[in-house]
Amino acid sequence: MFIQISRCAVSMSQTVASSSASELQEQIARKEAVVGVIGLGYVGLPLISAFTSAGLRCMGFDVDDSKVQSLAAGESYIQHISSRQVQDWNERGMLDVTADMSRLKEPDVLLICVPTPLNDSRDPDLRYVEGTAEAIAAVLRPGQLVILESTTYPTTTRDVMVPILEKNPAGLKCGQDFFVAYSPEREDPGNPDYTAAGIPKVVGGHDETSRDLACALYAHAIVQVVPVASTEAAEACKILENTYRAVNIALVNELKMLFDRMGIDVWEVISAAATKPFGFQAFYPGPGLGGHCIPIDPFYLTWLARRQGMSTRFIELAGEVNASMPRYVIDRLSEFLNEQAKPIRGSRIALLGVAYKKDVDDPRESPSFELIQLLKQRGAELTYNDPHIPELPRMRHYDLEPMVSQELTPEYLQRQDCVLIATDHSAYDYDEIVRHAPLVLDTRNATAGVVQGREKIRRA
């Protein structure tokens, strides 16, 4: 693997501040450092894959004992990490998983990959970061490097995490006895072209020694390491990446609503605009935003701006547009059913896809849950199908009754009043869906290639 470290102006030998740093530097150089990953989900497991592939032994920590038991048994619960991979880690002795947080003293490096959601008032909820930092502080030993990977607002590492870690019983000081850095996770689930090891890693340190230790660690496993001047710069980098996407998606979502009213195909317009070889990047509309980053991160920035006495009106407007899309879809559904002299109440609606994007098993922040709730509130007889999610998972902000994925047979499709495509999985045969369903509401342009039965297709 080609490894590149960009802009590393100060060599490790110049920045080592203590014997603790020097010892850890040597362990990392010899690939003898044990890497602990806290949070064994969609970020943590790909990181373990990257480090074990590079020859570094890992420990996995999670408060969810079912995850620990699954991994110990060689079973993966994430689609793009196979059980065969987990079995290989176990067979080679490269992974030790536990729910015992007292063992956090054992790894030489700790990567924090825990959730950073929003609370009910859309303010940052750092309870998982704070709780993890407290657990580390209780057993912190000299020479450990702690790296936060969870997406958060600038200053979190320095002003929230470091003070908690420095409350350790031994009185260890950051930058002298232990080391802290921030490196934002970058994951694109379902995209085989980008694995954790193949996506450049931005790294900011609490101090130069912490930064350079973190850079040296990631350089073993990641294709390119990009140092920045501070943890704040690295935190801001992640927020910028996802706010950029959220704002541009809001733009095309708003244009979709306008062009629908004018009888213009927004997808055709985007496709035409994308032929311009400069100055344009294609973004696509949908039924709302999903995933663990784009629906959340911009609100971290607006919250931070309020603390600085500023308003981020542009970002907040984008959030309002994106948040309104599920209701727009339901309103369009109501119009199309009305053409058939049917109300939503009592109509049989099949929702296709509850994952937040195509070809993944990740339901986090999926707009499908808002669609389900709105349809239930309006009295629809609702069922769903998702080849990647056999049972509707419990979600933090939704109190939905248990549901299981229905088999997508011709008979099932024919019984529906409308099939609503919320996620455009590749596994779906859209010709068959349109052939058998009486009405199809497509929010993803998934039926663009369908020729027969186009009179039954509506867009939203």
Sheet holding 58-61, edge to edge: 4-5, 224-228, 201-205, 179-182, 145-148, 109-112, 35-38, 58-61, 95-98
Q: What CATH architecture applies to the domain 243-459?
A: 3-Layer(aba) Sandwich (3.40)
Question: Cα(46)–Cα(377) distance, rounded to whole angstroms?
Answer: 38
Q: What is the mean pLDDT of residues 243-272?
A: 95
Q: Is the pLDDT of residue 3 over 50?
A: no
CATH class, domain 4-229, is: alpha beta
Burial of 304 (C-beta count, 10 Å sphere; 0-12/13-18/19+): buried
Report the share of the chain in percent with pLDDT over 90. 80
Choice among 107-121, 253-267, 283-297 with the minimum mean pLDDT: 283-297
Q: Which string of DSSP letters, residue by residue, matches 235-293?
A: HHHHHHHHHHHHHHHHHHHHHHHHHHHHT--HHHHHHHHTT-SSS-------SS--SSS
Q: What is the mean pLDDT of residues 346-358?
A: 96
Contacts of 121 (CB under 8 A, 6+ apart): none
Contacts of 131 (CB under 8 A, 6+ apart): none
Assigned token pair, 407 = 């088999």
| pLDDT (0 to 100) of residue 276 | 97
CATH 3.40.50.720 boundaries in the chain: 4-229, 243-459
Q: Is the pLDDT of residue 17 over 90?
A: no
> Is residue 10 very low, low, confident or very high in pLDDT (cuts 50, 70, 90)?
very low
Do the Cβ atoms of 435 and 450 come closer than 8 Å?
A: no
Q: What is the mean pLDDT of residues 411-424?
A: 98
Catalytic site residue 293?
A: yes
Choice among 2-16, 175-189, 409-423 with the minimum mean pLDDT: 2-16
Q: Does 164 or 302 have the greater pLDDT score? A: 164
Beta strands per DSSP E along 323-372: 348-352
Q: What is the pTM of this model?
A: 0.89
Catalytic option among 58, 174, 237, 293: 293
> Is residue 5 very low, low, confident or very high in pLDDT (cuts 50, 70, 90)?
low
Choice among 161-175, 358-372, 394-408 with the minimum mean pLDDT: 394-408
Residues 304-323 have pLDDT tens digits of 888 889 988 888 899 899 99
Contacts of 271 (CB under 8 A, 6+ apart): 282
Which helix (DSSP H) or strand (DSSP E) does residue 96 occupy?
strand 95-98
Assigned token pair, 129 = 């970061």
- Backbone Cα Rg of the chain: 24
- Going from the C-alpha of 448 to that of each of 265, 268, 372, 443, 445, the distances in angstroms are 11, 10, 24, 11, 6
